[in-house]
Amino acid sequence: MGKEYFIGDFLKRIKRPISLIPTKEYKLVTIKMNHKGVVLRGLKKGGEIKSKMYEVKEGDFILSGIDARNGAFGIIPKELDGAIVTNDFWYFEIDESIILKRLFLELTATTWFDEICKKASEGTTQRIRLQKDKFFNQKIILPTKEEQDTLLGKLLSVKKKNAELINEIQVQKQLVTQLKQSILQEAIQGKLTADWREQNPNTEPANELLKRIKAEKEKLIKEKKIRKEKPLPPITEEEIPFELPKGWVWCRFKDIVNFQLGKTPASKQASYWTNGTIDWLNISDMVDGGFIYKTSKKITEKAVKDVFKTQQMVPVNTLLMSFKLTVGKVSINKIPLFHNEAIISIFPYTDISQSFLFNILPVVTDLSASKKVLMGQTFNSTSLANMVFPLPPKEEQKAIVEKVEAIMQKVSAMEEEINKSEQNAQMLMQAVLKETFEGKKEEKTEKV
């Protein structure tokens, strides 16, 4: 039979005030949210610290009064024994006559204790924190000591199974990632469509496609729709990473597309951002391999006039790609927008399939970026323009897209199964807690 307790019955807050020595260096503690542990925040000499400080010991259970509702609690590790904290951090003794310390610590690794802290936190948006009376006066039902031993055994058993399952899931995720890379690698080498080429031997070769694009560019230059640029350098043997099938050709990226870099209005210029109404995209807004329907930031008409004066808004259904920090992230915008200088908007020439680029650009840029990293370089507009690109004939581009998308559908189904397994692993622990604690609500409880 379960018993009802106040939190304050078994969690006793303790304080160890410390007089700081001005010349002594002290370890400061911080607690990461989402159950990510207690870590060293930094070192400071006593003379540099103005707040009243308290000492913590190895094994103390500690929480952040500000972020406990977000899972900011844990155990003081050995290396932080004797570290110091402010009064915003609460640490406790656990009364083992009511609850086993080992059981309590295992429970705090689940959402069980998160909910307790959420119920006891209140305040304005920027100052929500744990309230002493609400926290210690919360009532919960705890199993008897004998049942606690059983529950602890169940939790440790489930925890072990979870760890094994999560390890297996991580292996499966890694294998799926490798499989995706392998599929795209075979696509850009022409291996994925070897059978298709046998069945379509009379396909126009890609070098004819390049000739038409060259004529198209010359016409656009005459019409002053694009600028005339310096000729791209010839491709050297050292740049070619693998042999292409018959009918394919190596070219430069700028041979087959026109692209435009974005810009970032000055962040300190309030008139560029305050009450902005025009969507402005950064890399974190991009949906990798997906579509963009919104941006986290908006700019003003003044920003457009001052900063983007030589550029038009990127039209809907344009292919976008990041080339700095996160290289080769591709998206297609479903809203008109501007974007920052780490993203390019890509405009393929006639008979260059946008879907083909969308599927294979990540692996092509990764191949090129890996070489540049080895040479201590990063992408810029020039190196992007000069990036070597394996170009198949027009008809084979379509065949590659169909093959890749059909295979990736099957891979996505595999990923969905893996994600379900991961969710089930997370639910195992909750099922044990539900059985123990919610089951107790149906029984008659004895108050202390």
Question: pLDDT of 131-151, one tens digit each?
Answer: 999 999 999 888 888 888 888
pLDDT surpasses 60 at 268: yes
Region of poorest pLDDT, from 123-132, 250-259, 421-430, 432-441: 432-441
pLDDT band at 155 (very low <50, low <70, confident <90, very high): confident
Backbone dihedral region of 34: left (phi > 0), alpha (psi from -120 to 50 degrees) or beta?
Answer: left
What is the rounded average pLDDT of the residues 311-317?
A: 94
Instruction: Please say whether the dihedral angle defined by the alpha carbons of residues 32, 33, 37 and 38, taken in this order, is positive or negative.
Output: positive
What is the rounded average pLDDT of the residues 159-165?
A: 82
Q: What is the pLDDT of residue 227?
A: 86
pLDDT surpasses 50 at 177: yes
Closest CA to 114 of 133, 98, 95, 135: 135
Give SS3 for 375.
Answer: coil
Question: Strand 297-299 vs strand 278-281: parallel, antiparallel, or unpaired?
Answer: antiparallel
Give SS3 for 91.
Answer: strand
Closest CA to 177 of 415, 422, 358: 415
pLDDT band at 371 (very low <50, low <70, confident <90, very high): low
Q: What is the mean pLDDT of the chain?
A: 89
pLDDT band at 414 (very low <50, low <70, confident <90, very high): confident
pLDDT surpasses 80 at 68: yes
Q: Which domains does the chain have, with CATH numbers?
A: 3-142 (3.90.220.20), 204-392 (3.90.220.20)
Question: Based on C-alpha coordinates, what's the Rg of the chain?
Answer: 30
pLDDT surpasses 70 at 170: yes
pLDDT surpasses 90 at 168: no
Q: What is the pLDDT of residue 447?
A: 47
Angstrom distance (rounded) from CA 397 to CA 354: 10
Higher pLDDT, 352 or 429: 352
Closest CA to 360 of 316, 335, 396: 396
Q: What is the pLDDT of residue 437?
A: 61
Neighbour tally for 17: CB within 10 Å? 9
Angstrom distance (rounded) from CA 318 to CA 335: 9
Backbone angles phi, psi at 42, to 5 degrees: 160, -175
Cβ-proximal residues to 13 (8 Å cutoff; 6+ apart), any chain: 90, 91, 92
pLDDT band at 347 (very low <50, low <70, confident <90, very high): very high
Q: What is the pLDDT of residues 232-265, one digit of tens each?
A: 999 999 999 999 999 999 999 999 999 999 999 9
Q: What is the pTM of this model?
A: 0.67
Give SS3 for 405.
Answer: helix
Kindly state the helix (H) or strand (E) to which residue 291 belongs, with its residue range: strand 290-292
Write the CA distances from 327 to 44, 178, 297, 351, 366, integer angstroms: 39, 17, 21, 25, 7
Q: What is the pLDDT of residue 435?
A: 65
What is the rounded average pLDDT of the residues 19-35?
A: 94
Give SS3 for 419.
Answer: helix
Region of poorest pLDDT, from 83-87, 125-129, 235-239, 368-372: 368-372
Question: Strand 330-333 vs strand 290-292: parallel, antiparallel, or unpaired?
Answer: parallel
Say if residue 241 is exposed, middle or buried (CB neighbours under 10 Å; 0-12, 13-18, 19+).
middle
